[in-house]
Structure 1
Amino acid sequence: MVTCYLRYVVDPHKLDAFEAYGRLWIRLVEKFGGKHHGYFMPSEGASNIALALFSFPSLTAYEDYRKRSFEDPECQAAIAMNEKDRFIISYERSFFRPVFEDDLGVKRAP
C-alpha cells in the first residue's frame, strides 16, 4: 500500500471553494480504486494550510489512477475549478508506506 500526502497552501479567502474541490476529489479517487482518508482544513494555527491523504494498493495503481484521471471528464472539471478560481497557491506531494501493528507480528483483537 502507498499513501499519498498532499500539503496545500490555499488562499485563506477561498476556503469554501477549496473545500468543494476537495469533496469532489474524495469521490473521484475512490472511483479509480483508491481509499480517500479525507481533506483536513485549517482550524487552529495557520489559516492557509490544508492536507489530504489517500491510499492505493501500490504505486503502480496510483500511477494508473493519475493516467486515467487526465482523461476523465469529471476529473478535468475538478481541475478546471482551480484553474478558474485559483484557490490553490501551491502544493507538495509525498508518498508513504504505512506501518501497522500487525506488521510486527502483533495480532489485533477480533
Structure 2
Amino acid sequence: MITCYLRYVIDPHKLAEFEDYARLWIPIVNRMGGTHHGYFLPSEGANNIALALFSFPSLAAYEDYRQRMAVDPECVAAYELDKRNRSIISFERSFMRPLLPTA
C-alpha cells in the first residue's frame, strides 16, 4: 500500500471554496480504486495549510489512477473549479508507506 500525502497552501480567505473542491475529490478517489482518508483543514495555528491523505494498493495503481483522472469528466471538473476559485496557492505531494497495526 502507498499513501499520498498532500500539503496545500491555501488562501485563508477562500477556505469555503477549498472545502467545495476537497469534497469533490473524496468520492472520486474512492470510485477510482483508492481509499480517501479525508482532508484536514485549518483550525488552530496556521490558517493557510490543509492536508489530504489517500491510499492506493500500490504505486502502480496510483499511476493508473493518475492516467485515468486526466480524462475523467469529474476530475476535470474539479480541477476547473479550483482554476476559477484559485483557493490553492501551492501544494506538495509525497508518498508514504503506512505501518499499520498487526492482527
TM-score under structure 1 length normalisation: 0.92
Deviations 1:56-104 (A, max 9, x none): 00000000001000000110000001111110000000000011232xx
What residue number does 2:7 align with?
7
Task: Give 2:50's aligned amino acid.
Answer: A
Structure (1 or 2) with the larger CA radius of gyration? 1
Structure 1 regions of 5+ residues with no counterpart? 103-107
**Matched residue SS, 1:46:** coil
Stretches of 4+ moved more than 6 A in 1? none
Unmatched 5+ residue regions in structure 2?
Answer: none
Instruction: Read off the aligned partner of 2:59 and give its amino acid letter.
Output: L
CA distance in 2 between partners of 1:27 and 1:81 (Å): 16
Which residue does 1:96 correspond to in 2?
96
**Residue 87 of structure 2: aligned partner:** 87
Q: What do residues 19-43 of structure 1 show as CA deviations (whole Å, max 9, x unaligned)?
A: 1110100000011000000000000
Aligned residues: 103
Q: In the alignment, what sits opposite 1:47?
A: 47
Please provide the CA RMSD for this pair. Answer: 0.6
* Other structure's SS at 1:62 match: helix
